[in-house]
Amino acid sequence: MDHFLYRDGVLHAEDVPVAEIAAAVGTPFYLYSTATLERHYRLFDEALEGLDHLVCYAMKAASNQAILRTLARLGAGMDVVSGGEYLRAKAAGVPGSKIVFSGIGKTAHEMELALLGGIRQFNIESEPEMEVLSAVAVKLGKVAPITVRVNPDVDAKTHAKIATGKSENKFGIPISRAQSVYAHAGSLPGLEVIGIDVHIGSQLTDLEPFRQAYRKVSDLTEALRAEGHDIRRLDLGGGLGIPYAQTNEAPPLPSAYGAMIREELGHLGCEIEIEPGRLIAGNAGIMVSKVIYVKSGEGRDFLILDGAMNDLIRPAMYDAWHDIVPLVQPAAGVAQRPYDIVGPVCESGDTFAKQRMMPPLNAGDLVAFRSAGAYGAVMSSEYNTRPMIPEVMVNGHEFAVIRARPSFDEMINRDTIPEWL
């Protein structure tokens, strides 16, 4: 469920007509619903009620500070994958004790940043990383709390570019080697082993891959405890999918996910961490764009929008589907027709949808890309010297620009021309 609904034939974000925001800030832009963000966070928090747990929002999904602060005020922790994300979380008011540092390529500088600023744990991905972290911690007179990310070799049955739990993926340590790796971690002076980390992929629509992975984690927990390791925290990653309009898939609800965690891991007495990103942010955001031209081609018609692949790259990168709807609700029974929906960037890949059935649209009409809150704004760029589009947040009857569109002068003046030119 989200809070982008038609009222009297006009698309609203909570209590604000979306067209009113478009008139104020111009198109294209991203728009987030506070009520949806809050609802989705609470679904996860309530799903783990009764377990010692922390819901750490995966910032890579959408990292505007307004989003982070909205979630932090509800008690969320943060899962970060770079020094920049760590600093962004701190700037949004998240204490270091609620920040988990993930990612396969942490640098010594990033480790030092987090150790000095405060950190809940590092999720370690390799033995060389483990040794560097120990050395950094010893140099600073600190002890770094760690989990080791294990790769359980479980097929998440998701898109190849967002699967992370198979043996051929770059993530984590093979679970078959975990006990020797943990023995090595326990011997390093700058580390404190506190738990296990696992994450098998994104946009999962079935609980069975999770269940397979968590059973392996359960067995590993028992084995490591028998060897003297104090395994008291299990970081289970994220990955629960969201429903997209083009399929009949109905991903499991957070409540079912929480029940499965209890079944497979509740007997261990561990603190549970989960790191949802897409399911919290995805349906909490839309991208709004305007039709520039309706173009007739050879055997097909095109809707040319002012939004482009640099603004929303997911269709070009992942063949991702976004439901695209007009801001003015079409009349009941209106005949639809197929359009290729494209942007103005000089790439054939700048295509959002092919032969998408839509009501007749004209130049100047506004459309909304649903389920665009995750991996939309954070993956955008200034390709073709197109300004990064604004981000806007709605809260009831109010809205605010939470990232402004830069001017062309601001963009161009970032360049520095060397003296010899």
**What's the CA gap between 287 and 390, in Å, rounded?**
10
Residue 247 has a pLDDT of: 53
| C-alpha dihedral sign at 257, 259, 263, 268 | positive
Q: What pLDDT digit, counting tens, does each position of 334-378 carry?
A: 999 999 999 999 999 999 999 999 999 999 999 999 999 999 999
Q: What is the CATH number of the domain that holds 343?
A: 2.40.37.10
Say if 38 falls within a structural domain: no
Same domain, 21 and 141: no
Residue 246 has a pLDDT of: 55
Task: Mark which of 244, 274, 304 sits at the end of a domain.
Answer: 274
Say if 65 falls within a structural domain: no
**What's the CA gap between 403 and 22, in Å, rounded?**
15
Q: Annotated catalytic sites, by residue?
A: 346
Residue 204 has a pLDDT of: 83
The token pair at 2 is 């989200």
- CA nearest neighbour of 5 among 21, 23, 17, 20: 17
The token pair at 206 is 């079935």
Q: What is the CB neighbour count within 10 angstroms for residue 216?
A: 19
Residue pointed to by tokens 């993530």: 171
Task: Mark which of 258, 274, 290 sits at the end of a domain.
Answer: 274
**What's the CA gap between 205 and 242, in Å, rounded?**
8
**What 3 state SS string does 134-198 have?**
HHHHHHHCCCEEEEEEEECCCCCCCCHHHECCCCCCCCCEEHHHHHHHHHHHHHCCCEEEEEEEC
**What's the CA gap between 322 and 371, in Å, rounded?**
6
Residue 159 has a pLDDT of: 44
Say if 367 falls within a structural domain: yes
Q: Are 340 and 298 in contact (CB under 8 A)?
A: no
* Bond preceding residue 28 cis, omega within 30 of 0: yes
370 is in which domain, residue-wise? 4-31+282-412
Task: Mark which of 274, 295, 326 sits at the end of a domain.
Answer: 274
Residue 406 has a pLDDT of: 98
Same domain, 175 and 256: yes
Q: What is the CB neighbour count within 10 angstroms for residue 405?
A: 15
Residues 6+ apart with CB under 8 A from 22: 29, 288, 290, 327, 366
Same domain, 260 and 294: no
Q: What pLDDT digit, counting tens, does each position of 151-208 carry?
A: 988 865 544 444 444 445 556 899 999 999 999 999 999 999 999 999 988 788 889 9
Same domain, 152 and 267: yes
Q: What is the CATH number of the domain that holds 112?
A: 3.20.20.10
Same domain, 322 and 403: yes
Say if 90 falls within a structural domain: no
Say if 79 falls within a structural domain: no
- CA nearest neighbour of 198 among 175, 232, 228: 175
Say if 270 falls within a structural domain: yes
**What's the CA gap between 358 and 326, in Å, rounded?**
9
**What's the CA gap between 355 and 353, in Å, rounded?**
7
Count structural domains, the chain: 2
**What's the CA gap between 395 and 398, in Å, rounded?**
5
Same domain, 143 and 164: yes
DSSP E strand stretches across 163-300:
173-174, 191-197, 233-235, 271-274, 285-296
Q: What pLDDT digit, counting tens, does each position of 49-69 carry?
A: 999 999 999 999 999 999 999
Report the chain (421 residues): mean pLDDT per 10 consecutive residues: 94 98 98 98 96 97 98 98 98 98 97 98 96 98 97 65 45 90 97 95 85 95 97 94 66 92 97 96 97 93 98 94 96 93 96 96 98 97 97 98 98 97 97
Measured CA distances, 123 to 74, 203, 364, 393 (Å)? 24, 21, 48, 32
Same domain, 142 and 260: yes
Same domain, 198 and 286: no
Looking only at the bridges linking them, the beta strands covering 301-305 and 285-296 are antiparallel
Same domain, 163 and 21: no
Same domain, 298 and 335: yes
Residue 248 has a pLDDT of: 59
Say if 83 falls within a structural domain: no
Same domain, 267 and 292: no
Same domain, 267 and 315: no
Residue pointed to by tokens 């984690």: 217
- CA nearest neighbour of 255 among 41, 58, 46: 46
Residue pointed to by tokens 């760029």: 381
In sequence order, the β-bridge partners of residue 70 are: none
Q: Are 373 and 284 in contact (CB under 8 A)?
A: yes
Q: Are 57 and 275 in contact (CB under 8 A)?
A: yes
Say if 263 falls within a structural domain: yes
